[in-house]
Chains A and B, each alone.
Chain A
Amino acid sequence: MRHALNTIYRLAGGLAASFIVAIVAIVFVQVCLNLADKIAAAFTGTGLGLTIPSYADFTGFFLAASTFLALAYALRAGGHIRVTLLLSRLPTRAQHGFEIAVVAIALAMSAFASWYIILLVYESFEYGDRSSGMVSVPLWLPQLPVAFGLIILTIALLDELVGLLRGRTASWDGKGENLLSE
């Protein structure tokens, strides 16, 4: 069970990272095509009109997928920013209590958001909503990773809550805030 959960978090994190690589790839190729276009226009007088269809839309979809799929991974790596100033002054037992309360609140919100994102995906599917643009894709497709990301985050928070209630420390404990984040 432990192993399976850790694998899910890491897989989702890896997937999120590969979406960022995909953004770089798609945008870089488009920039090269623009350049080729300009050069062709300079020599022949007419551009070739090279574009990856709807590349801006796809970039946005990849970004959303990356952001949400990485949620659980970032949570466990201590990547999400929070104010620990007051908390760190408290005795350890009280800190543990606060940690439980905070994780419980976050879990409730994450579950709530997951539920409504699932509804959103279902509606997009049901009504056959499609993205606008040259290449039109059914909207439920890019929305799906967003839903998965939130569900995985909910699972991760539940996982943490169970651990905390059993007296263990949180997985982000001691990893500190990501100082290079700003």
Chain B
Amino acid sequence: MSIAVLSIILIVLLFAFLGAGLWVAFSLLGVGIAAMALFSNAPLGLVMATTMWGHSNSWALAALPLFIWMGEILFRSRLSDDMFTGLSPWMNRLPGQLLHVNVFACGIFAAVSGSSAATAATIGKLSIPELSRRGYPEKMVIGTLAGSATLGLLIPPSIILIVYGVATEQSIARLFIAGVLPGLLLMTLFVGYVAVWAILNRDSLPMEDISATFREKLRRSRRLLPVMLLIGGVIGSIYAGIASPTDAAAVGVVLALILSWSSGTLTRASFVDGLMGATVTSCMIGFILAGASFLTVAMGFTGIPRILAEWIGGLGLSTFTLLAALTVFFVILGCFLDGISVVVLTASVIMPMVQQAGIDPLWFGIFLVIVVEMSQITPPVGFNLFVLQSLTGRDILTVAYAALPFFFLMIVALVLIVIFPSIVTYLPEQM
């Protein structure tokens, strides 16, 4: 059998497994088993056992459960309330007024949480009822939230960047810092869009009249102080090189516990809920990574990634064409798969091709995460859409339509980081 036929068999098998509803981790393991059984005489079971063990005990990966837990604790705290109160007085001058609270609150929460669905849920549970009560158009309320919540993936700490870093052996600290400027870029684009939209649609917006004195504003913003300190402590210590992401995450968990204890939201029940939620989520991701690491090794035995890389190299595509093709491919894949699966599949199969094309793996990680962000708001499988669907009671297509402008803004951001790669690489180079 030729390698092309075998590749097709493996792809069909992968989609059959996934489509039938087999868990992602098992689907990856299954394809790995098939690849090794068909392509090599290496001792399958032993390779599988050693890879699964070897890749699941790792110091760098330990940051993952900790950041997830930190997000779970803050999700159960009074943080979203504090953010709304603290941010809203500052948004009066901007056209679009309180719609910007969504963007900024998501941006800030993204800096303490590594997850986009958690960001959407935390900010949305407060801002959706509040903004609809004040008469803001539903489409913009949902859209800003769906779009901005995806920042959870890009602004450090980021769970998906940890997964990418571990799967491709990149420094997680550098990936985190590389995500900062693109995250701010996206926030700027979102704020700009909301402002322009508000100027063009003055009639459909309510007139807010919360004129507060500067003193009053400062007094209300005091409630933002604890979360700002948390962000500063966690991200600052990574950037300053004092702490590795795992160290920073442990400190973050302790600070988040103190924060929620001092605001009176830490109960025995909320502690156990948060901890068990974090245990389940990190187990799910850890198991997928174990499956993916075996698939990567199995793929190495088949030689498919190398041949794919040589084939793409032989086509002589420009980097731009290659990236455009990859974007389309990932967006389609992301319509059906969750972000973590897209990232681990990329690491197993596509990475050699990317490196062959001379693309910086650090830069590519950020590029990939923005594409995954886009896939969070494309139907039928988009986790932010699911969260907003359950928060608003609207059907998924309505939510997706509201999020569409933000999808295009992310494409703009992609084009910008392709043209100006230093948006990504500038900060890590300063470390």
Residues of A within 8 A of B (CB): 13, 16-17, 20-21, 23-24, 27-28, 30-31, 34, 56-57, 59-64, 66-68, 70-71, 73-74, 77, 79-87, 98-99, 101-102, 105-106, 109-110, 112-113, 115-117, 119-120, 142-143, 146, 177-182
Q: Can you list 9 A-B contacts with CB-CB less than 8 angstroms, sorted by A residue number?
A: A56-B59, A63-B65, A70-B283, A83-B336, A102-B20, A109-B30, A112-B48, A116-B48, A182-B159
Residues of chain A lying within 8 A (CB to CB) of residue B48? 112-113, 116
- B66: contacting residue among A23, A61, A70, A101, CB under 8 A: A23
Residues of chain A lying within 8 A (CB to CB) of residue B339? 182
Contact A28 B59 (CB under 8 A): no
- By beta carbon, the residue of chain B nearest A25 is B250
Contact B23 A81 (CB under 8 A): yes
CB distance from A64 to the nearest CB of B (A): 4
| Complex CA–CA separation, A142 to B253 (angstroms) | 25
Any A CB within 8 A of the CB of B247: yes
| Complex CA–CA separation, A119 to B71 (angstroms) | 38
CB distance from B379 to the nearest CB of A (A): 10
- By beta carbon, the residue of chain A nearest B283 is A70
Residues of B within 8 A of A (CB): 17-26, 29-30, 33, 45-46, 48-50, 52-53, 56-59, 61-62, 65-66, 69, 71-72, 75, 115-118, 121, 153, 159-160, 243, 246-247, 249-251, 253-254, 275-288, 290, 336-341, 376, 380-381, 383, 386-387, 390
Contact B23 A119 (CB under 8 A): no
- By beta carbon, the residue of chain A nearest B46 is A116
Residues of chain A lying within 8 A (CB to CB) of residue B243? 31
Residues of chain A lying within 8 A (CB to CB) of residue B341? 81
Decide yes or no: A106 and B283 within 8 Å by CB, A23-B65, A23-B66, A67-B290 being known contacts.
no
Residues of chain B lying within 8 A (CB to CB) of residue A180? 71-72, 75, 115, 117-118, 121, 277, 281, 387
Residues of chain A lying within 8 A (CB to CB) of residue B115? 180-182
- By beta carbon, the residue of chain B nearest A139 is B53
Contact B58 A60 (CB under 8 A): yes
Listed from nearest, the 4 A-B pairs whose CB atoms lie closest are A67-B286, A70-B283, A27-B250, A116-B45
Contact A179 B117 (CB under 8 A): yes
- By beta carbon, the residue of chain B nearest A85 is B380
| Complex CA–CA separation, A113 to B46 (angstroms) | 9
Residues of chain B lying within 8 A (CB to CB) of residue A64? 53, 56-57
Residues of chain A lying within 8 A (CB to CB) of residue B117? 179-182
Contact B280 A74 (CB under 8 A): yes
Residues of chain B lying within 8 A (CB to CB) of residue A57? 59
- A20: contacting residue among B69, B380, B387, CB under 8 A: B69
Decide yes or no: A81 and B284 within 8 Å by CB, A109-B26, A113-B49 being known contacts.
yes
| Complex CA–CA separation, A105 to B27 (angstroms) | 10
Decide yes or no: A67 and B381 within 8 Å by CB, A77-B280, A106-B26, A120-B46 being known contacts.
no
Residues of chain A lying within 8 A (CB to CB) of residue B61? 60, 63
Contact B275 A105 (CB under 8 A): no
Contact A24 B118 (CB under 8 A): no
Residues of chain A lying within 8 A (CB to CB) of residue B71? 180
Decide yes or no: A85 and B381 within 8 Å by CB, A74-B283, A120-B46 being known contacts.
yes
- B247: contacting residue among A30, A68, A71, A102, CB under 8 A: A30
User: A59-B59, A64-B56, A86-B19 are known contacts; what are 13 more A-B pairs with Cβ within 8 Å?
Assistant: A74-B280, A79-B280, A112-B45, A113-B52, A119-B46, A120-B46, A120-B53, A146-B52, A179-B117, A179-B387, A180-B71, A180-B75, A182-B117
Residues of chain B lying within 8 A (CB to CB) of residue A77? 280
Contact A67 B56 (CB under 8 A): yes
- By beta carbon, the residue of chain A nearest B26 is A106
| Complex CA–CA separation, A12 to B239 (angstroms) | 37
CB distance from A132 to the nearest CB of B (A): 13
- By beta carbon, the residue of chain B nearest A149 is B283
| Complex CA–CA separation, A100 to B386 (angstroms) | 26
| Complex CA–CA separation, A109 to B44 (angstroms) | 12
| Complex CA–CA separation, A32 to B338 (angstroms) | 37
- B57: contacting residue among A30, A61, A81, A115, CB under 8 A: A61
| Complex CA–CA separation, A176 to B279 (angstroms) | 17
Residues of chain A lying within 8 A (CB to CB) of residue B30? 105, 109
- B65: contacting residue among A66, A83, A106, CB under 8 A: A66
Contact B279 A13 (CB under 8 A): yes
- A67: contacting residue among B26, B250, B283, CB under 8 A: B283
| Complex CA–CA separation, A116 to B311 (angstroms) | 36
| Complex CA–CA separation, A167 to B56 (angstroms) | 36
Contact B277 A120 (CB under 8 A): no
CB distance from A86 to the nearest CB of B (A): 5
Decide yes or no: A16 and B250 within 8 Å by CB, A31-B243, A87-B21, A120-B46 being known contacts.
no
- By beta carbon, the residue of chain A nearest B71 is A180
Contact A81 B340 (CB under 8 A): yes
Decide yes or no: A82 and B49 within 8 Å by CB, A21-B275, A24-B254, A105-B30 being known contacts.
no
Contact B53 A146 (CB under 8 A): yes
Residues of chain B lying within 8 A (CB to CB) of residue A120? 46, 49-50, 53
CB distance from A71 to the nearest CB of B (A): 6
Contact A83 B282 (CB under 8 A): no
Most buried by A among B115, B286, B287, B337: B287
| Complex CA–CA separation, A7 to B275 (angstroms) | 19
Contact A24 B253 (CB under 8 A): yes
Contact B282 A66 (CB under 8 A): yes
Contact A16 B284 (CB under 8 A): no
CB distance from A30 to the nearest CB of B (A): 7
| Complex CA–CA separation, A16 to B279 (angstroms) | 7
